[in-house]
């Protein structure tokens, strides 16, 4: 069995793919939201579910990403020149290219 942090139980990946396949048959273009803190594995989960590397942009951890929510601001408004803002804007550009 592949050593993967998403294989919490035997056949987890198989069950997940079966459910995802059912959903794909019912909904041709599903909207999916995966939320979580920076660095917790959201991209890894997406890549695992889809079986390939979907996005190449990496979101680097930095202090501004942690501070922005306390100021009730998004990272681009709070610290537009930070690594976090740069990375999220690059991710948005990459996402828009894939959606076209």
Q: Tokens 């610290």: give the residue.
A: 79
Name all contacts of 88-92 with Cβ < 8 Å and 24+ positions apart. 88/59, 90/57, 91/55, 91/57, 91/59
- Alpha carbons 91 and 40: distance in angstroms, whole number: 17
Structure confidence at residue 76 (pLDDT): 93
17-61 per-position pLDDT tens digit = 788 777 777 776 667 778 887 778 887 787 777 777 777 888 888
Question: Domain ranges in the chain?
Answer: 32-99
Full-model pTM: 0.54
CA distance 30 to 68: 30
Fill in the DSSP letter of residue 39.
T
């Amino acid at each position: 069995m592949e050593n993967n942090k998403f294989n919490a139980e035997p056949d987890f990946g198989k069950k997940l793919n079966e459910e995802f396949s059912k959903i794909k048959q019912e909904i041709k273009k599903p909207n999916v939201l995966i939320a979580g803190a920076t660095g917790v594995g959201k991209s890894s989960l997406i890549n695992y579910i889809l079986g390939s590397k979907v996005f190449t942009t990496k979101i680097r951890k930095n202090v501004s990403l942690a501070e922005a929510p306390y100021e009730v601001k998004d990272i681009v408004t709070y610290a537009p020149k930070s690594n976090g803002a740069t990375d999220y804007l690059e991710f948005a550009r990459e996402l828009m290219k894939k959606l076209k």
